Amino acid sequence: MFSLRSCCVTHSILSHRLTLRTSLILPPLFLSLFPPKPISLQPLYSPKPNPNPRTMSSRPSAFDALMSGARAAASKKKPPTSSSPKKRKNPEPKTPLQNPTHPQAPIDEEAPPSNSNSNSNSNSKPSEEPQVSNGSEKDHPDTDPEPSGDTLAVKKPRLINADESIALLKKKPANFDPKSAAFWNDGERVPFMFLVKVFDAIDKESGRIAITEIVCNMLRTVISTTPDDLLPVVYLLANKIAPAHEGVELGIGDASIIKALAEACGAKESQIKSKYQALGDLGLVAKASRSSQSLMRRPEPLTVAKVFGTFRLIAKESGKDSQEKKKNHIKGLLVAATDCEPQYLIRLLQSKLRIGLAEQTLLAALGQAAVYAEKDSSPPAHIDSPFEEAAKIVKQVYSVIPVYDKIVPALITGGVWNLSKTCSFTPGVPIGPMLSKPTKGVSEILDKFQDMEFTCEYKYDGERAQIHYLENGSVEIYSRNAERNTGKFPDVVVAVSRLKKPSITSFVLDCELVAYDREKRKILPFQTLTTRARKNVAMSDIKVEVCIFAFDILYLNGQQLMQEQLNVRREHLYKSFEEDPGYFQFATAIISNDLEEIQKFLEIAVDSSCEGLIIKTLSKDATYEPSKRSNNWLKLKKDYMESIGDSLDLVPIGAFHGRGKRTGVYGAFLLACYDGSNEEYQSICKIGTGFSEVVLEERSSSLRSKVIPKPKPYYRYGDSLKPDVWFEPTEVWEVKAADLTISPVHRAAIGIVDPNKGISLRFPRLVRVREDKPPEQASSSEMVAEMYSSQKNNQRNNQDDNEED
């Protein structure tokens, strides 16, 4: 028996050589939790040292060692097949069209070992062959990235490695051959490694166009090889496991992940935790954790389908021991993960992918990929730029039916040009609610809606809700974020069923649910509404009554109304329901274009405890635009005069310890807005006013549990800002300010208004905590920039006015 030590020496020598060749790629591999699958144990036993590069970076699997005698014997006879029980590729190892016709295919495993250049590699080829996909360390100097066209018709002569594949994905879509980047065969499950490498490429890319191209090329590759896997690929790219309204969640906390990680790499939990403290990102911890535990056998490389399937299993686990079962699922994935897979696996599990891939970009890429995929059927004649049009179609369809399970299969079978027909609004599936743009004054509204008929409605201060009433009499209520809220409002379910006219068999209502005092006939503040229980509310337990204020109807008796103008929709709305004060009312509205009248209406609205007004176009450009912050809906809040037009929703990311009277609580907080395109939080101001003692106490204690040792890598803030503590982005606060200024310290909207300076708020004060918003939906930097520039315009106008005076 050969001593292991002697082999190790050979290995380390070789690893040096290899490191030189692929120096950029190897280091992460050494750090990876689990190195790629070392099927072959021949190096341990074979008579001549076998320089298999794979085993160098990896731990020998102990069980393989046990079996190596038998294996070595077998593999001498039929090299390519004996080493792995489940082969991943190449069921027919011999094709007539091999080496002779393709001099550029030196990696072909059938190649005779005469090629002295890659001789050392070809020795290990048999055992390595099943894992080509993992082979980031494999490097062949003479590989040609593009197989010539004729080879595709027959069979791929060779399979490229993952990094070559990613290099190909970066080509312009027009020059990209979708088959070229696949390092697996048609019909085989897409390796998870492919997705992870794409994540990595996207992460390093900052331009939206470049990202769209990579994603588009990637999706084309999947469509052309394994269309069945497109759905899981899209879901993982979106970092979702199911449509939002289904309420399916992975339900795993950091603690479970830490446990799984510790067990998977044989470390102590405390070790993982201290690394987490140091690195601040469990994904990086996973990447940096080397296993100290050898394995009985390397698990099969992960596939996208396997990962996604396991995620759904994790989400399904419930009840007793479910955390334990979830942990075991995670462990199973982690053990099989190699290279940079663990890092992204963890981030996916945390639902914090943060690679700068916005969902809108994904949708655009999906549309474009579909256009390429159906080259044969040309787009309808009237379309000039098919790619933009396709992206628009997919985005539009997604806003109406945000369910990839419907869209993706429809794209593959029916094509993108039919998508609007094959995949349309379905009652019971929430539509993205139409949103309004902030404005600063009545005059601005008259400006924007010149010569248009428009209407003003009260803007109620409650919870936006979309109520679906289906043919079978069932009712669902969805929140602003498409979450199912039916269990929270059983009284609303009863009210709409009672107050719809008998002829109405189905509808989708857009409305605001507002806390209401029926005795005093008064609208109660939003804060009262937040005291309601959130889940499984029983009618008898309801203490806070709500009134439904309906303002739009999107679907009625089997008919879609979204494409109708608002005046038509409103008519349908008024005809279909009975009002019952305190239970169901139509939003108070007037139609006027008289400045005085609107001003007065605004004051009445504010007096009736509303936030302000929403002004909507009525008969022209007045269709319902799902998920859009449309120019056709403007909001006018009551305090536009005293400060900047709208309040901002900001995320506390850090705080300063309080002194004096505020000892023991935080004295001031650092707030940030969210930049969706870079997926980062940009500091915007410090805030210390607007807190009552009680609120300050509450906020301090709630955030104290969210303290993290160091700022997240995706926090942007000035160097001179040194908060005493940093927080996880968890809360969203509504904040008012006097105005916006350019700031050298803060980083909000940096690069938009000024290349090196951000925007900050002057005299910010807390209005309330927005419990209905996740931090990602905080005010965006674009919005901050827009507010800043419109404020500047206004000031200039005012100055002009003054000068004229």
Which residues, 6+ apart, have CB-to-CB distance to 568 below 8 Å?
A: 561
Work out the number of other CB atoms within 10 angstroms of the CB of residue 517. Answer: 14
Our CB check for another protein shows the closer of 44 and 492 to be 44
Our CB check for another protein shows the closer of 107 and 285 to be 285
Build a one-symbol-per-residue string for 227-266: x at contacts with another protein by CB under 8 A, - elsewhere: ------------------------------------xx-x
* Cβ 322 to another protein shortest distance, Å: 13
State which of positions 542-571 bind another protein (CB under 8 A). Answer: none
Q: Choosing from 125, 197, 437, 459, which is the catalytic residue?
A: 459
* Cβ 476 to another protein shortest distance, Å: 33
Binding test (CB under 8 A) with another protein, winner from 36, 51, 60, 645:
60
Name the nearest CA neighbour of 145 among 127, 132, 164.
164
* Cβ 200 to another protein shortest distance, Å: 20
DSSP H or E stretch at residue 666: strand 666-675
State which of positions 280-339 bind another protein (CB under 8 A). Answer: 290-299, 325, 328-329, 331-332, 334-335
Our CB check for another protein shows the closer of 338 and 455 to be 338
Our CB check for another protein shows the closer of 289 and 743 to be 289
CB 673 within 8 A of CB 780: yes
Build a one-symbol-per-residue string for 149-178: x at contacts with another protein by CB under 8 A, - elsewhere: ------------------------------
CB 159 within 8 A of CB 89: yes
Our CB check for another protein shows the closer of 271 and 741 to be 271
Q: What is the sign of the dihedral through the CA atoms of 682, 686, 688 and 689? A: negative
Instruction: For the chain, give the number of residues.
Output: 805
Identify the DSSP state of 39: -
* Residue keyed to tokens 């970066």: 170
Our CB check for another protein shows the closer of 86 and 94 to be 86
* Cβ 137 to another protein shortest distance, Å: 14
Name the nearest CA neighbour of 613 among 466, 449, 442.
442
In angstroms, the CA 45 to CA 65 distance is 8
In angstroms, the CA 784 to CA 780 distance is 6
State which of positions 2-21 bind another protein (CB under 8 A). Answer: 4
CB 767 within 8 A of CB 642: no
CB 677 within 8 A of CB 783: no
* Cβ 45 to another protein shortest distance, Å: 10
Structure tokens at 19: 């490191």
Identify the DSSP state of 87: -
Structure tokens at 189: 């499950």
Binding test (CB under 8 A) with another protein, winner from 21, 59, 240, 448:
59
Our CB check for another protein shows the closer of 67 and 470 to be 67
Our CB check for another protein shows the closer of 27 and 253 to be 27
Q: Is 204 exposed, middle or buried (CB count within 10 Å of its CB: 0-12, 13-18, 19+)?
A: exposed
* Residue 745 amino acid letter: V
Build a one-symbol-per-residue string for 29-58: x at contacts with another protein by CB under 8 A, - elsewhere: -xx------------x--------------
Q: What is the DSSP string of 754-801?
A: SSS-EEEEES-EEEEE-TT--GGGSPBHHHHHHHHHHHHHHHHHHHHH
* Cβ 324 to another protein shortest distance, Å: 10
Our CB check for another protein shows the closer of 326 and 747 to be 326
* Cβ 340 to another protein shortest distance, Å: 16
* Residue keyed to tokens 């007004």: 613
Alpha carbon 39 to its chain centroid, in Å, reads 35
CB 525 within 8 A of CB 532: no
Strand pairing category for 765-769 and 733-736: antiparallel
State which of positions 665-684 bind another protein (CB under 8 A). Answer: none
Build a one-symbol-per-residue string for 62-101: x at contacts with another protein by CB under 8 A, - elsewhere: xx-xxx-xx--------------xx---------------
* Cβ 299 to another protein shortest distance, Å: 6
Our CB check for another protein shows the closer of 67 and 167 to be 67
CB 274 within 8 A of CB 702: no
Identify the DSSP state of 484: B
Our CB check for another protein shows the closer of 61 and 256 to be 61
* Cβ 284 to another protein shortest distance, Å: 14
* Cβ 51 to another protein shortest distance, Å: 18
Our CB check for another protein shows the closer of 1 and 694 to be 1
Our CB check for another protein shows the closer of 298 and 757 to be 298
Q: What is the sign of the dihedral through the CA atoms of 211, 216, 222 and 225? A: negative
Sequence-ordered alpha helix ranges (H) in 337-463 = 341-349, 359-373, 386-400, 404-414, 419-422, 442-448
With CB under 8 A as the rule, give the number of residues binding another protein.
37
Build a one-symbol-per-residue string for 260-279: x at contacts with another protein by CB under 8 A, - elsewhere: ---xx-x-x-----------
Task: Tell me the chain's radius of gyration from C-alpha atoms.
Answer: 30
Structure tokens at 780: 């965006």
Work out the number of other CB atoms within 10 angstroms of the CB of residue 671. Answer: 31
CB 465 within 8 A of CB 513: yes
Build a one-symbol-per-residue string for 122-151: x at contacts with another protein by CB under 8 A, - elsewhere: ------------------------------
Build a one-symbol-per-residue string for 703-732: x at contacts with another protein by CB under 8 A, - elsewhere: ------------------------------
Cα distances (angstroms) measured from residue 142 to each of 117, 160, 333, 387, 623 = 10, 12, 34, 35, 58
* Cβ 354 to another protein shortest distance, Å: 25
In angstroms, the CA 216 to CA 213 distance is 5
* Cβ 36 to another protein shortest distance, Å: 14
Look at phi and psi of residue 762 and say left if phi exceeds 0, alpha if psi is from -120 to 50, else beta.
Answer: beta
3-class state of residue 20 by DSSP: helix
Own/partner contacts of 705-712, CB < 8 Å, gap of 24 or more, are 706/730, 708/280, 709/277, 709/278, 709/280, 710/280, 711/280, 711/653, 711/654, 712/280, 712/281, 712/653, 712/681
* Cβ 290 to another protein shortest distance, Å: 8
Give yes or no: 459 in active site: yes
3-class state of residue 631 by DSSP: strand
Q: What is the DSSP string of 706-731?
A: TEESS--TTEE--TT---SEEE-S--
Structure tokens at 233: 């690929």
The residues of the shown chain that bind another protein, judged by CB under 8 A, are: 4, 30-31, 44, 59-63, 65-67, 69-70, 85-86, 263-264, 266, 268, 290-299, 325, 328-329, 331-332, 334-335
Catalytic site positions: 459
